[in-house]
């Protein structure tokens, strides 16, 4: 019971029962009636059972760390495992909790909608341990059950106990963003030597050996081909295959100037569209084997103190990216664009190109001092409800 805060209530029925006990005791004192005595003992037994039930009732809630991923308009069933016991095994209870308005519980008995979340009520009186929450995703975001409270009634409904769950509930529902197509993406995924700028030019893959040649004094020690050297009697150097390294760096600015107050910033009205377009870019990059790194000017606890998707590629990387986008919240602490660009300046030089969302190339060049950054190709992601467009800038 360390996870629960317990409070026992004595409703009017318990008060009435206590008054009856006192009245019957006084009446029986003068009348000495067997019937009154039996009634008195019966009422006392009932009162005692109810009291002991609430005194010894305990609850157990399975609380494991779990992430459930869904897209908007999809439905999912979330298990909720709770057990209760006292001097008798059965218990009658009502469950209440709050959920973000990014989702909706479809099998609730009663609900109260608020500004940012909804309070739901469910009946858990069946005595079963396993209950199921039928949840429908409404829009991108994150939903976690909060203020979990269970009211337990004794079998005679004389009193009730309230249990408030103290720890953070580990089941997290992430509503991943929709992937909205972006026009002009072919400019970034069609790579032809001499036709696309690439700050890294060519790299060599140490696992791909195309041949050998005679050793030169400028060659690295690690490039010596020892087997070939032993066979020929002279030092031989590996000739490695050249590979192209493509990397997109995406900068997402979640803020914009307010319409009537240029000195004040608020969350962008195009933020949801930007997020949907970035989700699409992540999917395209995964298909093309392109590495992606994403920075968002929302404060977080890491090296950059920013919401950051580290450079990577592949399906797992896409999932991490979609999860990061799902966690973007309008109540998060943010960083002004100028300070945001200063923090990411050191990571821009190693990119194949930079994709700007909610920020302009002029702002980047004005804020950064590294000349290598100024020569990079920049693309601005223009967002709308119909679809996005990548424009060279």
Return the structure tokens found at 80: 């909720």
Say whether pLDDT at 278 is over 60.
yes
pLDDT the model gives residue 236: 85
How do the domains of the chain map onto residue ranges?
Answer: 1-175, 182-193+245-392, 205-243
pLDDT the model gives residue 54: 81
13-27, 77-91, 102-116, 226-240 — most confident range: 102-116
pLDDT the model gives residue 115: 84
- The stretch 337-341 carries a mean pLDDT of 93
- The stretch 21-28 carries a mean pLDDT of 71
- The stretch 143-150 carries a mean pLDDT of 95
Read off the pLDDT of residues 71-118 as tens digits, 9 standing for 90 and up: 999 999 999 998 877 776 666 789 999 999 999 999 999 999 988 899
User: What's the rounded Cα separation, in Å, for the pair 101 and 103?
Assistant: 5
Read off the pLDDT of residues 166-185 as tens digits, 9 standing for 90 and up: 999 999 999 999 999 999 88
- The stretch 373-392 carries a mean pLDDT of 88
Nearest to 131, CA basis, from 175, 87, 176, 97? 97
Query: Do 253 and 268 form a contact (C-beta atoms < 8 A)?
Result: yes
- The stretch 191-216 carries a mean pLDDT of 54
Say whether pLDDT at 205 is over 50.
no
Residue bearing the bigger pLDDT, 197 or 216: 216
Three-class HEC string of the chain: CCCEEEEEECCHHHHHHHHHHHHHHHHHHHHCCHHHHHHHHHHHHHHHHHHHHHHHCEEEECCCCEEEEECCCCEEEEEEEEEEECCCCCCEEEEEEEEECCEEECCCCEEEECCCEEEEEEECCCCCCEEEEEEEECCCEEEECEEEEEEEECCCCCCEEEEEECCCCCEEEEECCCCCCEECCHHHHCCCCCCCCCCCCCEEEEEEEEEEEECCCCCCHHHECHHHHHHHCCCEEEEEEEECCCEEEEEECCEEECCCCCCCEEECCCHHHHHHHHHHHHHHHHHHCCEEEEEECECCCCCCCCEEEEEECCHHHHHHHHHHHHCCCCCCCECCHHHHHHHHHHHHCCCCEEEEECCCHHHHHHHCCCHHHHCCCEEEEECCCCCEEEEEC
pLDDT the model gives residue 318: 96
Say whether pLDDT at 226 is over 70.
yes
74-88, 238-252, 258-272, 330-344 — most confident range: 330-344
Residue bearing the bigger pLDDT, 20 or 152: 152
Please tell us whether the domain made up of 182-193+245-392 is placed in CATH 2.40.50.
Answer: no
Say whether pLDDT at 186 is over 50.
yes
pLDDT the model gives residue 202: 40
User: What's the rounded Cα separation, in Å, for the pair 70 and 102?
Assistant: 11
């Amino acid at each position: 019971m360390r996870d629960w805060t317990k409070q026992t209530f004595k409703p009017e029925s318990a008060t009435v029962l206590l008054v009856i006990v006192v009245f019957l005791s006084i009446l029986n004192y003068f009348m000495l009636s067997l019937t009154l005595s039996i009634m008195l003992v019966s009422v006392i037994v009932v009162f005692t059972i109810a009291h002991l039930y609430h005194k010894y009732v305990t609850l157990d809630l399975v609380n494991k760390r779990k992430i459930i991923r869904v897209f908007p308009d999809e439905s999912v069933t979330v298990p909720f495992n709770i057990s209760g016991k006292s001097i008798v095994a059965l218990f009658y209870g009502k469950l209440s909790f709050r959920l973000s308005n990014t989702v909706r519980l479809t099998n609730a008995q009663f609900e109260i909608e608020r500004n940012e979340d909804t309070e739901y009520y469910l009946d858990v009186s069946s005595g079963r341990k396993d209950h199921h929450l039928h949840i429908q995703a409404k829009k991108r975001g994150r939903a976690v059950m909060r203020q979990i409270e269970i009211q337990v009634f004794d079998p005679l409904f004389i009193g009730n106990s309230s249990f408030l769950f103290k720890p953070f509930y580990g089941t997290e529902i992430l509503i991943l963003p929709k992937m909205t197509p972006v026009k002009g993406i072919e400019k970034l995924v069609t790579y032809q030597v001499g036709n696309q700028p690439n700050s890294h030019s060519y790299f060599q893959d140490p696992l791909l050996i195309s041949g050998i040649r005679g050793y030169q004094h400028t060659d690295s020690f690690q490039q010596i081909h020892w087997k070939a050297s032993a066979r020929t009697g002279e030092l031989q150097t590996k000739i490695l295959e050249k590979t192209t390294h493509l990397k997109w760096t995406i900068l997402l600015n979640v803020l914009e100037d307010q319409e009537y107050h240029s000195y004040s910033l608020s969350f962008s009205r195009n933020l949801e569209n930007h997020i949907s377009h970035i989700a699409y870019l992540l999917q395209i990059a995964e298909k093309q084997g392109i590495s992606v790194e994403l920075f968002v000017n929302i404060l977080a606890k890491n090296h950059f103190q920013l919401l950051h998707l580290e450079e990577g590629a592949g399906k797992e990387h896409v999932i991490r990216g979609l999860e990061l986008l799902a966690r973007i919240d309008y109540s998060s602490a943010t960083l002004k664009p100028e300070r945001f660009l200063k923090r990411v300046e050191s990571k821009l030089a190693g990119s194949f190109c930079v994709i700007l969302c909610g920020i302009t190339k002029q702002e980047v060049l004005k804020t950064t001092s590294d000349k290598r950054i100024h020569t990079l190709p920049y693309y601005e992601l223009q967002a709308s409800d119909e679809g996005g467009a990548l424009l060279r800038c």
